[in-house]
């Protein structure tokens, strides 16, 4: 059933907005080009209106979900390559075609730490992929090997590496061909472009902080994870462009009130984030090798006297500074349009207290996004609510699912890899015969419902954490994760309890519940 | 002139929607002979638009063979601006009915040659045989479309400077920034409206009470431009109880009585009636 003029109108539906609200409104789509239309322009300028109206029965027409951290599904593990390109491609295609039943229409296959020589091959196989009835593989998410030994989780310790030569080390491991400049690879029609998207690494690992600038320049999002970074290192990483925290609460130091570390970034204080305040300089002694970092050039405009964040001085000195008059001297014009959304944004900081009720976020940098596994097991519902309440705009739902992810799978023991087995017990996945968590098998639609239940936020606000927030984090919100005119017509239709009723890719229905 | 009084704006909207549906059905429009409808913007017609939309959804009315002309549009405001009348009409009406986009006419306030735009608008109306029914509202000061007090009652479609009152009243739609409110508009003239074979005006709310009184109880006066309606042979005003607050009791009683007579006449006339003819009752 197609429309004679190729235009369709979803009517009698709720549309999730970018602010988390749900609005009753029609949505016009060009099913031939697979894009969302500017309805008013189509009407007045193109002088056309949809020939086909689809009554959605009051359900929610959401942008398709994005999962930016997923290790495999339906028995296929993205991190396992068995010398057979064809078999690997088939696995990718199978996952892309089946995952749509969970409402996911875009994903970042995640490669956990590998033996160094495997990377170039594996990553080159993960170029952006999609077909007419499948979810879109946006590229890859490399988790490791530049991570901390003590927070390695399930990563193989022998494969972990330092990045002694900064970005060059990243190139050596991942393969230079897999790290080229961004420019259009994002959504290009052919899949010839490398699909680099996201790197999870620990900023305290030698050389990692040095590589941040170049990663940013190339449009590769950096995520802090599997790390023991102190508050200062974590803050410095964000100021240097880190955009995300990988599976918050997991594989990082617990929240300590004197050094809140990575988790503390969710509460990053405007006081300490002021570009005119030297950072506090409490550094673990193991970080002697950490090189001083330079603030972006834009910081030096406007005559701030000493805006650098050189790590020097002592803890005492930095705490004493809190009692003194702020060191910042001059107001600075707010950044005149950052050239790249991936670069850290610097804003004007107030030189004094203010009287505007409700205005608290006077930050020199944006707080990072954070991936959250909301399966009820990896994070207690209280922790989920704590994180979400402190920074709802940064919340990104991820499944971090293992290859066992399959909503149709029964409880039981299943093979993992290298002769190890895991056991699915309800929503939990454990190493066989133990209570050790072996990863997650939750689906993203379930995470959306859970987030709404755990935090009390509306379904629309929960949807935002699986659509707009991840898309914005990757800088692709014009194409994915939103209902903007020109964005790809990838949808998940949910009832008002968040159950997936159907999934649409490029303007075509590709999955229907119970069909 | 007929004056119909109903309890509240919702019932007024329903009444007018029923009336328009009947007129379109009786006209039996075809692609070659479309029903030409003039339309207003503003909050007053919203209940009418809602009722018409409901009729289209339940398939008792179609706009497939209707051509519309809107009354006015701001000059210099982008077409997709939140406050443009293009946006208003699309959001509140056109997007929700079945009218083909090619049959919608709204003045282009961004045209390079504004005078030519106005001339061609009148020309397009003429080519379609004139407007069959012009639906309108009324300003607090008695204006119709952007024909502010003092406008010529013989005016045609043209560029008009907005009255200071109107700019002040509109400021709330532009973040209370008076400097952001457009100062000019393109509007059909009083004579353009009067040229329509039938004019239906919605007047609801107590704020409109004085304007209604000035329009129908006093003489034709360019300071209350809608009063020119007194010269139209087939005009209908539908109002709610609140808007009658300034009318004489006698006036209200008179119009209520002729409405009853009109109903009786319509029943009598229904039998010999020829399709497409409107009934010009003796009371009009």
Statement: residue B20 has pLDDT above 80: yes
B73 is catalytic: no
Percent of chain A with pLDDT over 70: 81
> In this complex, which of B95, B102, B104 lies closest to A39 when CB atoms are compared?
B95
What is the dihedral sign for C-alpha B134, B135, B140, B145?
negative
User: What's the maximum distance between 2 C-alpha atoms anywhere in chain A?
Assistant: 73
Residue-level pLDDT at A348: 54
Question: Cβ of A43 and B87 within 8 Å?
Answer: no
Which ranges of A352-458 does DSSP label H, i.e. alpha helix?
381-390, 444-455
Among A305-319, B114-128, B131-145, B151-165, the minimum mean pLDDT is found in A305-319
Asked, as a colleague might, if the bond just before A145 is cis with ω within 30 of 0, I would say yes
Statement: residue A277 has pLDDT above 80: no
Which ranges of B158-284 does DSSP label H, i.e. alpha helix?
164-170, 190-195, 209-217, 249-270
Note whether A163 and A145 are within 8 A (CB): no
Question: Cβ of A41 and B87 within 8 Å?
Answer: no
Q: Are strands B66-70 and B133-136 parallel, antiparallel or unpaired?
A: unpaired
Chain B's closest residue to A27, CA to CA, is: B95
Cα B208 from Cα B206, distance rounded (Å) = 5
Average pLDDT, chain A: 83
* pLDDT-based confidence at residue B262 (cuts at 50, 70, 90): confident
CB under 8 Å to B116, separation ≥6 — which residues?
none
* pLDDT-based confidence at residue A282 (cuts at 50, 70, 90): very low
Question: Cβ of A44 and B87 within 8 Å?
Answer: no
Count of A–B CB contacts within 8 Å? Answer: 30
**Closest chain A C-alpha to B91 CA, distance in angstroms:** 8
Note whether A211 and A164 are within 8 A (CB): no
Cα A137 from Cα A106, distance rounded (Å) = 6
Geometric angle at alpha carbon A44, from A42 and A48, rounded to 5°: 50
For residue B166, the cross-strand partners are none
Statement: residue B127 has pLDDT above 70: yes
Any idea which architecture A64-324+341-348+361-474 has in CATH? Alpha-Beta Barrel (3.20)
pLDDT per residue as tens digits for the range A211-261: 999 999 888 999 999 999 999 999 999 999 999 999 999 999 999 999 999
Cα A297 from Cα A420, distance rounded (Å) = 50
Geometric angle at alpha carbon B38, from B37 and B42, rounded to 5°: 130
Residue-level pLDDT at A194: 61
Cα A224 from Cα A40, distance rounded (Å) = 42
**CATH match for B2-270 among 3.40.718.10, 3.40.50.1360, 3.20.20.140, 3.30.530.20:** 3.40.50.1360
Question: Cβ of A40 and B80 within 8 Å?
Answer: yes
Statement: residue A340 has pLDDT above 70: no
A357 touches chain B (CB under 8 A): no
Residue that wins the pLDDT comparison between A437 and A63? A63
Question: Cβ of A48 and B101 within 8 Å?
Answer: yes
Question: Cβ of A39 and B90 within 8 Å?
Answer: yes
Q: Which is catalytic among the residues B72, B122, B198, B240? A: B72
Cα A119 from Cα A142, distance rounded (Å) = 9
Return the H-helix or E-strand segment holding A215.
helix A208-217
Residue-level pLDDT at A338: 35
**Domain residue limits, chain A:** 7-62+483-512, 64-324+341-348+361-474
Mean pLDDT of A324-337: 35
Statement: residue A342 has pLDDT above 70: no
Q: Which is catalytic among the residues B117, B122, B143, B198? A: B143
Name the residue with tokens 């898309």.
A471
* pLDDT-based confidence at residue A288 (cuts at 50, 70, 90): very low
B148 is catalytic: yes
> In this complex, which of B86, B91, B96 lies closest to A44 when CB atoms are compared?
B86
Alpha-carbon distance values, A343 to A340, A346, A468 (Å): 6, 9, 19
Note whether A494 and A97 are within 8 A (CB): no
Q: Which residues of B touch A24 (CB under 8 A)?
A: none
Residue-level pLDDT at B109: 96
Note whether A474 and A484 are within 8 A (CB): no
Reference A70, options A143, A171, A148; nearest CA is: A143
**Domain residue limits, chain B:** 2-270
Among A207-211, A281-285, A498-502, the minimum mean pLDDT is found in A281-285
B141 is catalytic: yes
Residue that wins the pLDDT comparison between A351 and A98? A98
* pLDDT-based confidence at residue A327 (cuts at 50, 70, 90): very low
Q: How many CA atoms lie within 13 A of A251 on its CB side?
A: 28
pLDDT per residue as tens digits for the range B171-213: 888 889 999 899 999 999 999 999 999 999 999 999 999 999 9
CB under 8 Å to B104, separation ≥6 — which residues?
A43, A44, B67, B68, B89, B94
**Closest chain B C-alpha to A502 CA, distance in angstroms:** 24
* pLDDT-based confidence at residue A350 (cuts at 50, 70, 90): low
Q: What is the dihedral of CA A19, A22, A26, A32, to 10 degrees?
A: 60
Statement: residue A297 has pLDDT above 80: no
B81 is catalytic: no
Fold of the CATH domain A7-62+483-512 = Urease, subunit C; domain 1 (2.30.40)
Phi first, then psi, for residue B216 (nearest 5°) are -115, -15
Q: Which is catalytic among the residues B73, B122, B141, B240? A: B141
Question: Cβ of A43 and B94 within 8 Å?
Answer: yes
**Closest chain B C-alpha to A362 CA, distance in angstroms:** 24
CB under 8 Å to B175, separation ≥6 — which residues?
none
DSSP code of residue A355: -
pLDDT per residue as tens digits for the range A393-428: 999 999 999 998 998 889 999 887 777 888 888 888
Q: Which residues of A touch B95 (CB under 8 A)?
A: 26, 39-40, 43
For residue B161, the cross-strand partners are B184
Helix (H, G, I), strand (E, B) or coil at A196: strand
Mean pLDDT of B29-34: 97
Residue-level pLDDT at A280: 45
Where on the phi/psi map is residue B42: left (φ > 0), alpha (ψ -120 to 50), or beta?
Answer: left
pLDDT per residue as tens digits for the range B215-243: 999 999 999 999 999 999 999 999 999 99
Mean pLDDT of A434-440: 82
* pLDDT-based confidence at residue A274 (cuts at 50, 70, 90): low
């Amino acid at each position: 059933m197609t429309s004679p003029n190729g235009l369709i109108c979803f009517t009698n539906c709720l549309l999730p907005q970018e602010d988390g609200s749900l609005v009753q409104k029609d949505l016009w789509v060009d099913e031939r080009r697979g894009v969302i239309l500017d309805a008013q322009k189509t009407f007045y300028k193109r002088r056309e209106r949809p020939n086909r109206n689809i009554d959605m029965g009051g359900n929610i027409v959401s942008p398709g979900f994005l999962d930016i951290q997923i290790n495999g599904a339906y028995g296929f593990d993205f991190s396992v390559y068995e010398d057979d390109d064809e078999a690997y491609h088939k696995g990718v295609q199978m996952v892309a075609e089946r995952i749509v039943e969970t409402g996911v229409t875009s994903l970042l296959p995640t490669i956990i730490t590998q033996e160094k020589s495997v990377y170039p091959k594996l990553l080159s196989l993960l170029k952006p992929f999609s077909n007419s009835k499948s979810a879109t593989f946006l590229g890859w998410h490399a988790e490791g090997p530049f991570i901390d030994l003590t927070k390695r989780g399930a990563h193989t310790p022998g494969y972990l590496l330092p990045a002694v030569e900064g970005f060059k080390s990243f190139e050596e491991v991942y393969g230079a061909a897999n790290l080229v400049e961004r420019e259009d690879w994002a959504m290009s029609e052919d899949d010839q472009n490398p699909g680099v998207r996201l790197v999870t690494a620990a900023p305290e690992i030698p050389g990692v902080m040095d590589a941040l600038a170049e990663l940013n320049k190339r449009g590769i999002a950096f995520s802090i994870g599997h790390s023991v970074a102190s508050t200062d290192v974590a803050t410095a990483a964000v100021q240097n462009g880190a955009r995300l925290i990988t599976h918050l609460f997991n594989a990082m130091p617990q929240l300590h009130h004197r050094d809140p570390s990575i988790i503390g970034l969710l509460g990053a204080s405007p006081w300490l984030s002021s570009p005119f305040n030297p950072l506090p300089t409490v550094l673990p002694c193991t970080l002697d090798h950490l090189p001083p970092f330079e603030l972006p050039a834009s910081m030096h405009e406007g005559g701030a006297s000493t805006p650098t964040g050189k790590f020097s001085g002592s803890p005492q000195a930095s705490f004493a500074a809190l009692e003194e008059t702020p060191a910042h001297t001059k107001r600075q014009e707010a950044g005149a349009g950052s050239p790249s959304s991936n670069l850290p944004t610097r804003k004007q900081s107030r030189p004094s207290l203010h009287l505007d009720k409700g205005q608290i976020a006077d930050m020199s940098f944006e707080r990072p996004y954070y991936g959250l596994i909301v399966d009820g097991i990896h994070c207690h519902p209280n922790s989920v609510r704590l994180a979400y309440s402190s920074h709802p705009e940064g919340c990104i739902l991820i499944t971090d699912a293992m290859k066992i992810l399959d909503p149709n799978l029964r409880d039981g023991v299943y093979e993992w890899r290298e002769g190890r087995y895991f056991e699915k017990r309800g929503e939990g996945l454990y190493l066989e015969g133990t209570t050790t968590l072996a990863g997650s098998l939750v689906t993203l639609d379930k995470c959306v419902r859970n987030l709404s239940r755990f935090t009390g936020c509306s379904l629309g606000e929960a949807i935002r954490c699986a659509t707009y927030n991840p898309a914005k984090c990757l800088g692709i919100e014009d194409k994915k994760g939103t209902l903007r005119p020109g964005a790809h017509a990838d949808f998940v239709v949910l009832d008002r309890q968040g159950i997936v009723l159907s999934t649409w890719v490029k303007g075509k229905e590709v999955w229907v519940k119970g069909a | 002139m007929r004056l119909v009084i109903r309890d509240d704006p919702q019932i007024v909207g329903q009444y007018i929607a029923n009336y328009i549906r009947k007129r379109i059905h009786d006209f039996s429009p075809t692609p070659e002979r479309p029903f030409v409808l003039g339309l207003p913007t503003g909050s007053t017609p919203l209940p009418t638009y809602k009722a018409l939309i409901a009729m289209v959804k339940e398939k008792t009315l179609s706009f497939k063979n209707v051509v519309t002309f809107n009354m006015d549009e701001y000059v210099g405001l982008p077409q997709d601006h939140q406050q443009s009348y293009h946006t208003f009409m699309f959001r509140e009406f056109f997007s929700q009915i079945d009218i083909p986009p090619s049959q919608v006419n709204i003045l282009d306030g961004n045209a390079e040659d504004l005078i030519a735009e106005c001339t061609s608008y009148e020309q397009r109306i003429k080519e379609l045989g004139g407007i069959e029914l012009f639906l309108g509202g009324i300003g607090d000061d008695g204006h119709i479309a952007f024909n502010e007090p003092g406008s010529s009652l013989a005016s045609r479609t043209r560029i008009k400077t907005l009255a200071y009152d109107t700019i002040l009243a509109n400021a709330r739609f532009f973040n209370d920034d008076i400097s952001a409110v457009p100062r000019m508009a393109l509007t059909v003239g009083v004579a353009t409206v009067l040229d329509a074979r039938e004019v239906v005006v919605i007047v609801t709310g107590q704020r409109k009470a004085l304007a209604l009184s000035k329009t129908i109880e006093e003489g034709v006066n360019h300071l209350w431009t809608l009063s020119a309606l007194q010269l139209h042979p087939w005009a209908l005003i539908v109002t709610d109880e609140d808007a009658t607050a300034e009318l004489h009791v006698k006036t209200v009683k008179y119009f209520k009585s002729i409405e009853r007579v009109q109903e009786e006449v319509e029943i009598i006339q229904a039998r010999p009636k020829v399709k497409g003819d409107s009934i010009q009752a003796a009371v009009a």
